[in-house]
Every structure is written in structure tokens, then in C-alpha cells.
Structure 1
Amino acid sequence: MLSDPWNRPELNDLRSILESIGKSDEDHNRNSERLELSVPAEMTTLRGNTISAMTREISRTGIGLLHKGMISPGEVTVRMASDTREFEYRVLIEWCRPCDDGMYLSGGRFLSQKTTTF
């Protein structure tokens, strides 16, 4: 897995951790239906730091992420891409907690979206 704690995680590392976490049977009292979504993403903080991430789930109102390093609650920009489009969202990270191998789970709600076609 990850030998150097300061290296950016590889996609395989992120997928492996997502698989090891599994789904929660707990009811989280959510207003919007969540869909599993496991795609590479990138977060940029207001300070300009870029963090590699993997999406975990998405809904109409928010997104769950897996990444290396603690993120303080606050606004970030999340970027994801498909073969034909790039998606950019402003997200208010509301929580962040540690999980396996020095990785963190976080979740936030969408503030706005900008879509760019390649």
C-alpha cells in the first residue's frame, strides 16, 4: 500500500481502501438519495492546495470523498472529469474523519456547479 505517508495516493490505493470500508447499514437520516460513485477527483482548498481524491458517493445536494490528509471544514473546489466533460463544483466540506492507511473520509454539500465541455 502507501509506504511514504507524504506521497500522493495512487488510484489503486484509493479504490482498495474504498473496497475495504464497505457500505454502512446505519440510517444517516439523509434527505437526498445517495448514489455510489467511485471516480478520481481533485480538491483545491481556498489556500490553493490541491489534494488527490476519489469520490465515494454523490447526491443532488452533496458528495462524499476519500483522500489523503485531514481537511478542515470549509469551502473547496472539487473537479471530476469524464471522457467528454469536466465537472467543477464548489463544495462546503462539513466533516472529515480518519480511516485506513492514513486516508480520510469527508463529506460536504454543493454550493454551486460549473460544467466545462472539452
Structure 2
Amino acid sequence: MSSDPWSRPSLEDLKSILDSFEKKKYIDLRDAERLSLSVPAEIVTFRGNTVDAMTREVSRNGLGLVHRGSIHPGEVTVKMATDDRSYEYRVLLEWCIPVERGMFMSGGRFLRDEE
């Protein structure tokens, strides 16, 4: 684990957190199928703060993230990039909970232009 309390979670951190959840049984009430997706991301909060994150899953309706530090639910911008293209999404962050290793998981739905 990094000494910087706001640094981006590593893939090892993400795997450890997801493994701990896979051991627990829960009922999945989601409307859309989720796909695992572990790529670096940045969350820009309503106040303009940038939080480094890793995506953990994505669907046609929204995405899940892992990051250090709590983020207040509300509208955020999530930025992701590949080698040749960058992506920016408006997301309504609906929840944020503490998990292992001093990190937080959050999730939200994509906002469309008309919202």
C-alpha cells in the first residue's frame, strides 16, 4: 500500500477488496449486466477536487469505483483514458462505503445530457 493516503489504489488492492466481497453471499438486484473493468480513472468532485481511482465494473447504466478517501454522493465527472483516446462521463455518485485497506468503494449512474 502506498504511503500517500490519496494515491490511486493498486490492482493488488482492488483484487483483495473484490475477493473479500466474492466470499460473501448477496442478492444482486441490478437492472443491467456488469462487466469487470479495472482501469485507472480520476474522479472530479463538484468542488473541483480530483481523486485518483480505479474502475471495478461498468454497465450501460453506470460504473463502480475504488479509491482512497470518502467522496460525498452527488454529481461528479469521471475521466478515463486509453493509449489513444480519453473518456469523460458525468456520473451521479449514489453511494460511497469504506472497505478494506483504508479504501472506499463507490458507485453511480451515468447522467445523460438531458439530465
Q: Mark yes or no: TM-score above 0.5.
A: yes
Structure 1 counterpart of 2:55? 55
Task: Note the aligned Cα RMSD (angstroms).
Answer: 1.6
Unaligned runs of 5+ in 2: none
The number of equivalent residue pairs is 109
1:2 Cα deviation after fit = 2.9
Percent identity of equivalent pairs:
57
Change (3 A) 1:4 1:89: closer
Q: Tell me, yes or no, if structure 1 residue 41 matches structure 2 residue 41.
A: yes
Say whether 1:8 aligns with 2:7: yes
Does residue 98 in structure 1 map to residue 98 in structure 2?
yes
TM-score computed with the length of structure 2 as normaliser: 0.86
Distance 1:99 1:14 in 2: 14
Give the structure with the larger strand fraction: 1
- Whole-angstrom CA distance in 1 between matches of 2:34 and 2:10: 20
Partner SS for 1:32: coil
Q: Report how far residue 104 of structure 1 moved.
A: 0.4
Give the gaps of 5 or more residues in structure 1.
114-118
Q: Report SS of the residue matched to 2:12.
A: helix
Q: What TM-score, normalized to structure 1? A: 0.84
Q: Secondary structure at the match of 2:47?
A: coil
